[in-house]
Structure 1
């Protein structure tokens, strides 16, 4: 836990966001728009 746990958690989140963006064909966060999101 501690700092190492935080670093790991943030790394996992970053990887998931990058993977999702690649699947949507987006290369930068500023290319995202509301139409690309599915609200649950």
Structure 2
């Protein structure tokens, strides 16, 4: 349950930050930060 919630929050955050990102490098950093936040939420 918590894992699904963390995934949903991560996807929502990715969607919001992707619209603000202007470069591929920035998008990669955004994806990485969402992944790290998801891992922390699961642990």
TM-score in terms of structure 1 length: 0.51
Unaligned 5+ runs, structure 1:
31-40
In the alignment, structure 2 segments of 5+ residues that lack a partner are 28-43
RMSD: 1.9
Structure label with greater radius of gyration: 1
**Deviations 1:6-39 (CA, angstroms, capped at 9, x unpaired):** 0000001111110111xxxx12218xxxxxxxxx
> Under a length normalisation based on structure 2, what TM-score does the superposition of the two structures give?
0.49
- Aligned residue for 2:23? 27
